[in-house]
Structure 1
Amino acid sequence: MLPLRRRPWTCRKCLQQLQSRAFETAASPTPRTPFQYPPVDTSSPKKNVDDATIRRVFDSQPFWKEFSQQRSAIAPRRAGLVQNQYLTSPEGFRVFANISLQKCQAIVAKVLEASTLEEYRAMARDLDRLSDLLCRVIDLSDFIRTIHPDPQIQEAATQAYALMFEYMNVLNTTTGLHDQLSKAAANPEVVSHWTEAEKIVAQILIKDFSNSAIHMPPAERQRFVNLSNDISQIGSEFFNGAEPAKSQVTFSANSLQGLDPMLVQKIKKWNNKAPVPTMGIVPRLVLRSVRDEEVRKDVYLATRTSSTRQVQRLEQLMMKRAELAQLSGYNSFAHMTLSDKMAKTPEAVSNFLTSLVGSNRGPVREELSQLQDLKGGPLQPWDHAYYVHKRVMEYSQSRRSRQLSIVPEFFSLGTVMQGLSRLFDRLYGVRLVPQETAPGETWHPDVRRLDVVDEAEQHIAVIYCDLFSRPSKHPNPAHFTLRCSRDISAEEIAESASIGQSAHPNDGMATAMDPQTQTLRQLPTIALVCDFQEPLTNGSGRPTLLSEQSVRTLFHEMGHAVHSVLGQTPLQSISGTRCSTDFAELPSVLMESFATAPEVLSLYARHWQTDEPLSESMMRSMALDRTAHGSIYGAVENESQILMALVDQAYHSMPVEATANGIDTTDIYHQVFSQYSSLPDPDNIRPRTSWQGFFGHLYGYGATYYSYIFDRAIANKLWQDVFLSGRASVDRAAGERYKNEVLRWGGGRNGWRCVAGVLGSENPSNKDGRLAEGGDEAMREVGRWGLGRDGMSG
């Protein structure tokens, strides 16, 4: 039931690891009394000490070893994972799940038996707590089972996850919960006493119940369940089953001139034939390097033609989704999916995307004109990668300076983390404080803990940083909220006290007393996962050095984290990144703009040995390099993402009656490309290409693939009009405005109101506050803002 909103929060950059949205809490010591929860010792460490320490914690292995062992001497007793008091052993996961389950059952009984006005008025908060109890097991266990190196812990976490997930499915069929909440929401005497947050949470939960067909008659509900199961199975097969129609294309080895000779020798057979596989890195290298256009054409077509079996899976998936939408009372799957998003309708998404095509058209023509001049003739789709690579190589040989080759020496991991802390301090008045961990608190010795504190030295969040590569660790960068923030009621504190002295109302994880309301709060606990190389231990003292792209990636993930940290709402269902899918990427994409802004670079970019700051000339060289690369391929890369979003909408906007005779996804794909692509679409070639079979995100992000570019357009606008509008980019007034209008709301405010609020009514794009209500014209307006020229990978 209640965690049905566990939609993927991860961005397309974080997407390969399609994790459900986890929600965080922070770790604090076991309380001395039910009302005393000391967050972190701030009596001696001050800003300058913390600032220096954060760099050394990530850059110096000897310092980290000494720092991380300090707690062991004074607290030899083993702590639970992320300070969860139950998770000191594999068996603790079973105890944790069972205690949480008992609390859930008590709340369910309370809701089902509610009859008085007061009981109905408490219902939104009761169900939000029920959701929190489910998520605190499901989200944390799901993370631990994928990240922990100990198989016993993995298995125990999996069992806890399965137990709670099965119970959640039972709740999905408990019609009484839906009936009671609907009854409460229909009573003016109840709703008038609800806070705005409670009203929003009630609406969300009713929508979630609706999405699980709990309101349908039994026969229709069973059909809904069957369709949902079919969609899950077929979708998983589609996501994992991408395969080309042909496994290889064979050429004469002599025709592969331009490709690395060592690679040619590796794939060449005894008869001078060279079979080129149609999946993996080799075909990409062929498209980028081989001089023979016919070879590139054959490889391009083969790598964009899916197997018949894969296309059939996709068409089955589309038909099942259309039927599910009809059963739920919607015109199409897109109408059903978008009803609670900023876009609201597929028509509005189409308005945004077609407007974006227009704003991107000029830059695309510029790029293609340059490549066409380089070729000396009409440019074909199989030419693009080749001539882009050629231009990049020419640029690299003629303009890239030696300065750029040493840029990573100014981006040690420690300096970048130090820079993030300094940036957050200047923008939002919060900073990152390294904190030694208790034995057993982390899942690996490399994990660093950062406490987030505000200007009053109040503890507001915990971030666990697992940033170094190791065997069997998933390489994709990601942000996980292990527990979200929420208010803890006096009843919950009393409930914990009745269990025993050792019971903690937040399972031992971090809490803090709100100084204004004197309410005990559950603090967000976040995990950041990356795959950087560890500092060298050969005596050189060389730390982990990051490329510019890795710096942007780390800033991106920290953008998610700061949303979780600052979006602390009274109820967990709308806390932090628990917001609309097409709004969730805004904070992370915006953070990428800060990563290499000159004023931000001046905060942190220092040479790892000499501490010399990055010079202005090097900053200019970096900016010129980004601009040059963006002008070579950025707009065409943007167009490819727009086209993919248009295809996604075309597939999912089909009503069920239009699918009665089947769906030709290949025909629809070519219709979209023929109408909107600036490069010619090879539609007249038989058999036609069917690239849609490789578009795995059609399953996980069905009807919402536009979200990332939508948020990118908004982020570009905010960067230009809020942070660069006649002020320095590191501007406290702009940071406070953005924090108060966007970040602090989590998912508790309509995204359009957030955007309108931060832009202000004086902004020409928001004249008279017209963005606040959203709608078709607002979507068109965002499309006019454009995506810039950085480009983005598919």
Structure 2
Amino acid sequence: MSNPLLQAWTGPHGLPPFADVAPAHFPPAFEAALAEHRAEVDAIAVQAEAPSFANTVARFDASGRRLARLEHLFYTLAASATSPELQAVQRALAAPLAEHGSAIYMHQGLFRRIDDLFARRDGLGLSPEQGRLLERVHLDFLRAGARLAPAARERYAAVMARLAELNTRFAQNVLAAENGYQLRLATEAELAGLPGFVRAAARQAAVERGLGEGVHVVTLSRSLIVPFLSFSARRDLREQAWRAWVGRGDGSGPDAAATDNREICREILELRAEQARLHGHACYADYALEDTMARDRGAVMRLLERVWHPALAAQSREREAVLAAMSAAGASHALEPWDWRFYAEQARRARFELDEAEVKPYFPLDRMVAAMFDCAGRLFGLRFQARPDIAGYHPDVRAYEVFGADGRLRGLFLQDNFARPTKRSGAWMNALRYQSRALGATPVILNNNNFARGAAGEPTLLSFDDVRTLFHEFGHGLHGLLSDVEHERLSGPQVLRDFIELPSQLFEHWMAEPQVLKAFARHWQTGEPLPDALLDKLQAARQFGQGYETLRYTASALVDMAVHSLPAAPDDVVAFEQQTLAAWGLPAEVGLNHRLTHFQHLFSSAGYAAGYYVYLWAEVLDCDAFEAFTEAGDVFDAGVAARLLQCIYSSGNSVEPGEAFRRFRGRDPVVEPMLKERGLLPA
């Protein structure tokens, strides 16, 4: 059988032949790619010439191209278009791929050459980007265990292989738990309180699951369950949905044993603690934070504490409004977590005369995509050309060629917007190819969202928060598309993890700008622009609920830091979570953004482990950065935008992130704009 993954990829922009790829093609393709990469690395290590930047560091950066493209494709499909067959392949390949990574980054012959260059770096006459690449590659090897003693290296590789297996099982369990839940709404009484857009989304979800016409289903997709919790008048059904949502992976509920992540979490934490000890650290958080802007737990905790107490006060004020809404509705029961969004929506409606059902018709998905493209054009001179003839891995994928102000092709942008059973939850950016001048590579960047699709013949309508998510992920996408560096390792969003959210969160600011909303927020049926009165209400209500949302996020970050600050895993991760929240005084009705047993940021990979704080850290940066436009008097000021492009969006990891921010802003960041944006400054 011919294997398309082992042939040249001749699709537009070098895309793979998606339609021809089957799960069975991946194991032999990876076998060939891994062998090829090992041979390339061996050849670098044994060459007779003395180490130089060109023959060692640059050559290593250019190695493993077949493997890189395979991994990009494989993990894209595993996240966005999976199947039982592909999941089986993913489980089987998890450990071998991790073992290969350890073998490469512990390769003693190659490391000796890199270590030699690093020791002599000041005398090599390197350019700033070359010096940065040498520094980052050397650190990659150190953090992968290259300098450990032989027995420790062997154990370290085994730990990493086991972690890869557990990360895969965790993510697949979460997906199975989410797909296994359906709350069917069969009668008008069960649909009570739900506005038309929620009913339409629930009806479409039922159609997509083959349940026929006239059936409504609430899934655990955030863009469906949050509106359900906000509008459903059926308190019993809200409780059912809420318990299913927060109980993913914790072993609760019927038939949950197969997706129980508690022991998986515990073993991951135990192995991470061992990983840290092998590096000489007291806990995993110390190891993880060593290569961040924050540097240590103290800096992280100072930021979280700076926000926690004002957020508690703000949530307490919001609670009074929620209780008043309950009283007005004649509710005599205690305020529970499944009540908060319902009565908060009523309080918001009463206080600001703002009804989400009135707002959503002005935010059809297609117009919001046009809005974000327009903002990117006005800021950075980009033009997006739709290419409906370019097929993706799923019919939902939309392709756009991206051109710069000079008419030069900057890359290909793929967008996959809708929730479906074969796709993991959340929203994210990934790449099928990163930019690199040395490799002649233009980027292929992908955005994934999980919006609830509109009913047949009707547009998908977004909430204001959905629009924010759309712009957020596109900010990540711009970071990849605008990258302009020589070497792939430094490209686009491959930056320190507490800097990676700056470009995404910064771009969110434009979605709420009045001139953007007036131009693009139009009623999907009448074409009427967003009325001034409704815009004023949106702006007035912008900070309502920020105490609640800030506590949910910060509580998750605190639990993350607490559990990764332990010298060993807790015996019971659920009990530890509860104890941590009690110690911080989290009100019972608030809850967490993510409980440990479904916290994919932490346990599907190590990407945000001891690092969920980064969204708040980056918010300090993004609010301060946006102030530069405010100070210029124009949110599209050309001079500020040009500086933003040069210092932040195009520089990738070629510049130390603190220095990159100082070059843009002229100073270090300050925290007050973030507190102001969230309404957490003292009155």
Question: What letter matches 1:340 in structure 2?
Answer: D
Q: Do residues 430 (structure 1) and 430 (structure 2) align?
A: no
| Residue of structure 2 aligned with 1:355, choices 296, 303, 306 | 306
Offset, 1:711: 1.8
Distance 1:643 1:328, change over 3 A: same
1:143 maps to which residue? 76
| Structure 1 unaligned regions, length at least 5 | 1-29, 31-77, 243-257, 264-278, 490-520, 683-689, 772-780
Partner of 2:393: 443
Q: Which amino acid is the alignment partner of residue 619 of structure 2?
A: R
1:514 aligned residue: none
The DSSP-based 3-state class of the residue aligned with 1:522 is coil
CA distance in 2, matches of 1:354, 1:111: 48
| Conserved? CA contact 1:341–1:582, under 8 Å | yes
Aligned to 2:446: 527
Report Cα offsets for 1:543-581 as digits up to 9, x if no partner. Answer: 444343332222122111111011221111111111111
Task: Give the deviation of 1:133 after TM superposition.
Answer: 4.5
2:365–2:461 contact (8 Å) kept in structure 1: yes
Give the conservation status (yes or no) of the 8 Å contact 1:717–1:785.
yes
User: Which AA in structure 2 matches 1:386?
Assistant: D
SS of corresponding position for 1:452: strand
> Contact conserved, 2:476 with 2:493, CA < 8 A, in 1?
yes
Q: Tell me which of 604, 609, 634 is aligned to 1:702.
A: 609
2-structure distance, mates of 1:291, 1:609: 32
Residue in structure 2 matched with residue 751 of structure 1 by the alignment? 657
| 1:332 equivalent in alignment to 2:238 | no
Which of 723, 737, 751 is the equivalent residue of 2:629?
723
Q: Conserved in 2, the CA contact under 8 Å of 1:411 and 1:546?
A: yes
**Do the aligned residues in 2 keep the contact of 1:364 with 1:678 (CA within 8 Å)?**
no
Quick one: structure 1 residues 421 and 103, their matched pair in 2 at CA, closer, same or farther if it must change by over 3 Å?
same
Q: Show the 5 A alignment for 1:551-700.
A: 551-608=467-524, 611-624=527-540, 626-627=541-542, 630-631=543-544, 633-655=545-567, 669=577, 672-677=580-585, 679=587, 697-699=601-603, 700=605
Query: Following TM superposition, by how much is the alpha carbon of 1:111 offset from its aligned partner in structure 2, in angstroms?
Result: 1.4
The aligned counterpart of 2:209 is none
Matches within 5 A, 1:359-508: 359-371=310-322, 383=336, 385-386=338-339, 389-396=342-349, 400=353, 405=357, 407-435=359-387, 437=389, 441-467=391-417, 472-474=422-424, 476-488=426-438
Q: Find the aligned partners of 2:632 and 2:417 in 1 and give their Cα distance.
A: 36
Q: Tell me which residue corresponds to 1:75.
A: none
* Contact 1:559 1:587 (8 Å CA) reproduced: yes
CA contact (8 A) 2:472 2:507 kept: yes
Q: How far has the Cα of 1:422 moved from its partner? A: 1.7
Residue 236 of structure 1 deviates from its aligned partner by 5.9
Q: Which has the larger radius of gyration?
A: 1
> Greater relative contact order (Cα 8 A, min sep 6): structure 1 or 2?
1
Give the Cα separation in 2 of the matches to 1:431 and 1:203: 35
Cα deviation, 1:8-43, whole Å, max 9, x if unaligned, reads xxxxxxxxxxxxxxxxxxxxxx9xxxxxxxxxxxxx
> For 2:523 and 2:579, how far apart are their aligned partners in 1?
52
Q: Distance in 1 between matches of 2:106 and 2:273?
A: 23
Question: 1:437-481, CA deviations, whole angstroms, 9 ceiling, x for partnerless residues?
Answer: 36xx53345533211111111111111233356674556443221
Aligned equivalents of 1:319 and 1:470: distance in 2?
A: 34
- The answer as to 2:112 corresponding to 1:186 is no
Map 1:533-552 to 2 at 5 A.
543-552=459-468
Aligned residue number for residue 177 of structure 2: none
Total equivalences in the alignment: 608
Aligned-partner Cα distance in 2 for 1:98–1:437: 32
The answer to whether the 8 Å contact 1:574/1:746 transfers is: yes
Cα 1:114–1:193, aligned 2, differ >3 Å: closer, same or farther? farther
User: 1:548 & 1:421 partners in 2: Cα distance?
Assistant: 17
Q: Which runs of 5+ in 2 are unaligned?
A: 1-7, 175-188, 195-219, 253-259
Q: What is the one-letter code of the residue matched to 2:496?
A: S
For residues 468 and 288 of structure 1, the distance between their equivalents in structure 2, rounded to whole angstroms, comes to 23
Q: Which whole-Å CA distance do the structure 2 matches of 1:634 and 1:161 have between them?
A: 39
TM-score normalised by the chain length of structure 1: 0.65
Contact kept? 1:426, 1:731, Cα under 8 Å: no
Per-residue CA deviations over 1:49-101 (Å, capped at 9, x if unaligned) read xxxxxxxxxxxxxxxxxxxxxxxxxxxxx953753477784499799768856
Decide whether the 8 Å contact of 2:193 with 2:233 is kept in 1: no
- Summarize the Cα distance change of 1:536–1:676 in structure 2 as closer, same or farther, 3 Å threshold: closer
2:215 is matched with none
RMSD: 4.8
| 1:67 aligned partner | none
In structure 2, how many angstroms separate the alpha carbons of the residues matched to 1:695 and 1:219?
Answer: 33
The offset of 1:114, in angstroms, is: 3.2
Give the match for residue 134 of structure 1. 67
CA distance in 2, matches of 1:187, 1:119: 10
Q: By how many angstroms is 1:314 displaced?
A: 4.5
Deviations along 1:259-286, whole A, 9 cap, x unmatched? 98999xxxxxxxxxxxxxxx9989x969
Deviation (angstroms), 1:219: 1.8
Could you say if the C-alpha distance between residues 407 and 751 of structure 1 is closer, same or farther in structure 2, counting changes exceeding 3 Å?
Answer: same
Query: Following the alignment from structure 2 to structure 1, what is the Cα–Cα distance between the partners of residues 265 and 97?
Result: 31
2:19, 2:393 within 8 Å by CA — same for their partners in 1? Answer: no
Identity of aligned residues (%): 22
Specify the code of the residue in structure 1 equivalent to 2:292.
K
Give the secondary-structure state (helix, strand or coil) at the position aligned to 1:432. Answer: strand
Q: 1:533 & 1:637 partners in 2: Cα distance?
A: 21
Q: Distance in 2 between matches of 1:470 and 1:306?
A: 23
The answer (yes or no) to whether the contact 1:606–1:614 under 8 Å persists in 2 is: yes
CA offset digits 1:221-277 (Å, max 9, x no partner): 2232333345455566666779xxxxxxxxxxxxxxx998999xxxxxxxxxxxxxx
TM-score w.r.t. the length of structure 2 is 0.74
Encode CA deviations 1:472-527: one digit per residue, 9 max, x unaligned: 455644322110011236xxxxxxxxxxxxxxxxxxxxxxxxxxxxxxx3100112
Match of 2:156?
224
Q: Distance in 2 between matches of 1:104 and 1:235?
A: 24
The answer to whether 1:114 aligns with 2:30 is no
SS in 2 for 1:528: strand
In 2, Cα distance between equivalents of 1:718 and 1:374: 38
| Counterpart Cα distance in 2 of 1:241 and 1:156 | 15
Matching of residues 777-792 of structure 1 within 5 Å: 782=671, 785-786=674-675, 788-789=677-678
Indicate yes or no: 2:251 matched with 1:318.
no
> Is the alpha carbon distance of 1:396 and 1:199 closer, same or farther for their aligned partners in structure 2, counting shifts above 3 Å?
same
Q: 646, 668, 677: which one pairs with 1:740? A: 646
Decide whether aligned partners of structure 1 residues 234 and 152 sit closer, same or farther in structure 2, where only a CA change above 3 A counts: closer
Counterpart of 1:213 (choices 145, 159, 183) is: 145
